Amino acid sequence: DAGITQSPRHKVTETGTPVTLRCHQTENHRYMYWYRQDPGHGLRLIHYSYGVKDTDKGEVSDGYSVSRSKTEDFLLTLESATSSQTSVYFCAINRDNTEAFFGQGTRLTVV
């Protein structure tokens, strides 16, 4: 257990509404990541952060933004949710640039 908590765990939202997912870590790791998992695509990187206020885009960043105002929190925002963003979202940390640990996941459904 690497002290990673995601919230909410499940969410159903309507198309066009903004949604924010939260990732909280308790171990002061520098690197944090947001992935999405979809059938047939595995886990793909959305955005990542290498420190407070330092973030960058991943492979599938369109339609998403992130913020990291504190070391322990990494927020993922869907500015205007679409059905294609229905997915399971995982937050991850990178311990000492070696082993990665994942949060429990957030199942998001956009209707």
Partner 1 sequence: GIQVEQSPPDLILQEGANSTLRCNFSDSVNNLQWFHQNPWGQLINLFYIPSGTKQNGRLSATTVATERYSLLYISSSQTTDSGVYFCADYGGSQGNLIFGKGTKLSVKP
Q: What is the smallest separation between the CB atom of 16 and partner 1, expressed in angstroms?
A: 27
Q: What is the smallest separation between the CB atom of 67 and partner 1, expressed in angstroms?
A: 17
45 binds partner 1 (CB under 8 A): yes
Q: What is the smallest separation between the CB atom of 2 and partner 1, expressed in angstroms?
A: 8
Q: Is 83 helix (H, G, I), strand (E, B) or coil?
A: helix
Q: What is the smallest separation between the CB atom of 52 and partner 1, expressed in angstroms?
A: 17
C-alpha 50: how far from chain center? 14
Calpha distance 95→24 (Å, rounded)? 15
Residues 6 or more apart from 11 whose CB is under 8 A from it?
19, 21, 106, 107, 108, 109
Residue 2: Cβ within 10 Å count? 16
56 binds partner 1 (CB under 8 A): yes
> Which range in 15-23, 67-75, 78-86, 87-95 contacts partner 1 by CB under 8 A?
87-95
31 binds partner 1 (CB under 8 A): yes
98 binds partner 1 (CB under 8 A): yes
C-beta of residue 25 within 8 angstroms of C-beta of residue 72: yes
5 binds partner 1 (CB under 8 A): no
